[in-house]
Structure 1
Amino acid sequence: MSAPDKPKATAPSSRLLYLGVGAAATLVIFGACAFYFATLRVHRDTSDVVAVSVTSKACEPNAMSVLAGDRTFEITNKSDRPVEWEIVDGVMVVAERENIAPAIKETLKVRLAPGTYEVTCGLLSNPRGILVVAPSREADAQPARATTRSFLGPLSEYKFYLDRQSGSALRAAQDLAAAIKAGDLDKSRALYRDGRVSYDRIEPILYRFSDLQNKIDPAPSYFEKGQDDPAFVGYGRIARGLFERRSLEGLSPIADGLVDDLTALNTRLKAMKMTSDVLADSAARFSSLLSRDGLPEENADDHERRLAELDANLDGLGKLVVLLDPVLNTVNQELARKVDVALSDVRAILAKQKASAGQPTSSGGASADRTQLARAFAVLAESLNAVPSAIGIDANGT
Structure 2
Amino acid sequence: MRAVRLSVVTAAATAAALTAVTGCADKSDAKGGDGGIVVTAKDDSCEVSKKEFPAGHVELAIENKGSKVTEVYLLFPDDRIVAERENIGPGTKQRLTAEVKAGTYEVACKPGMKGDGIRRQVTATGEGKVARRSPEMDAAVAAYRKYVQTQADETLPKAKVFADAVKAGDIEAAKKAYADSRIGWERTEPVAESFGDIDPKVDLREDGLEKDQKWTGWHTLEKALWQTKKVGPAEKALADTLIKDLTDWQKKVGTAEISPTSMANGAKELLDEVATGKVTGEEERYSHTDLVDFKANVEGAQKSHELLKPVASKNDPKLVAELDRQFAALNRLLDKYRKDTTSYEFTSYDKVGKAERKELSDAVNALAEPLSKLAAAVVK
Q: Is the TM value for this pair above 0.5?
A: yes
2:56 pairs with 1:66: no
Task: Determine the structure 1 residue equivalent to 2:304.
Answer: 320
Aligned residues: 329
Match of 2:8 in 1: none
Q: Is the 8 A contact 2:71 2:84 kept in 1?
A: yes
Corresponding residue of 2:23: none
Q: Structure 1's 329 and 347: CA in aligned 2 closer, same or farther, altered over 3 A?
A: same
> CA offset at residue 124 of structure 1?
10
Higher relative contact order (CA 8 A, sep 6+): 2
Of 65-74 and 171-180, the range deviating more from structure 2: 65-74
Q: Which residue of 2 aligns with 1:93?
A: 81
2-side partners of 1:340 and 1:270: how far apart? 29
1:194-205 superposed matches below 5 A: 194-205=180-191
Distance 1:360 1:313, change over 3 A: closer
**Residues 276, 100 of structure 1: alpha-carbon distance in 2 compared, 3 angstrom cutoff:** closer
Residue 97 to residue 331, structure 1, CA distance change in 2 (3 Å): closer
Would you say the 8 A contact 2:109–2:117 is kept in 1?
Answer: yes
- In the TM superposition, what whole-angstrom CA distance separates every residue of 1:37-82 from its partner, at most 9, and x where no partner exists? xxxxxxxx9xx75555567xxxx57999823254445557789xx7
Matched, 1:275 2:262: no
What SS is found at the alignment partner of 2:73? strand
* Counterparts of 1:64 and 1:259, CA distance in 2: 44
Letter aligned with residue 312 of structure 2: L
Match of residue 144, structure 2, among 148, 153, 158:
158
Q: Give the CA deviation at 1:320.
A: 2.0
2:176 to 190, 197, 207: 190
- Once residues 176 and 316 of structure 1 are traced to their aligned partners in structure 2, the CA distance between those partners, rounded to angstroms, is 22
The equivalences for 1:205-354 within 5 A come to 205-224=191-210, 231-249=214-232, 250-297=234-281, 302=286, 304-354=288-338
Which secondary structure state, in structure 2, belongs to the residue aligned with residue 210 of structure 1? coil
- In structure 1, the residue corresponding to 2:153 is in which secondary structure? helix
Unaligned 5+ segments in structure 2 are 1-32, 340-345
In structure 2, the partner of 1:378 is 365
Q: Does 1:391 align with 2:374?
A: no
Q: Does 1:357 align with 2:347?
A: yes
Q: Which amino acid aligns with 2:135?
A: R
- Asked if structure 2 preserves the Cα contact closer than 8 Å seen for 1:169 and 1:199, the reply is yes
| Whole-angstrom distance in 1 between the partners of 2:206 and 2:94 | 23
CA contact (8 A) 1:196 1:309 kept: yes
Amino acid at match of 1:334: K
For residues 166 and 291 of structure 2, the distance between their equivalents in structure 1, rounded to whole angstroms, comes to 25
Q: Residue deviations 1:296-355, cap 9 Å, x none?
A: 439x96575111221122222222222223333334333222111111100111111345
* Structure 2 SS opposite 1:269: helix
CA shift, 1:91, in A, is 4.6
TM-score (norm 1): 0.68
TM-score, with normalisation over the residues of structure 2?
Answer: 0.71
Q: Indicate conservation of the 8 Å contact 2:278/2:290, yes or no.
A: no
How far apart are 1:253 and its partner, in Å? 2.4
Do the aligned partners of residues 153 and 109 (structure 1) sit closer, same or farther apart at CA in structure 2, a change above 3 Å counting? closer
Larger Rg: 1
CA distance in 1, matches of 2:316, 2:110: 39
Counterpart AA for 2:187:
R
Read off the aligned partner of 2:228 and give its amino acid letter. Answer: R
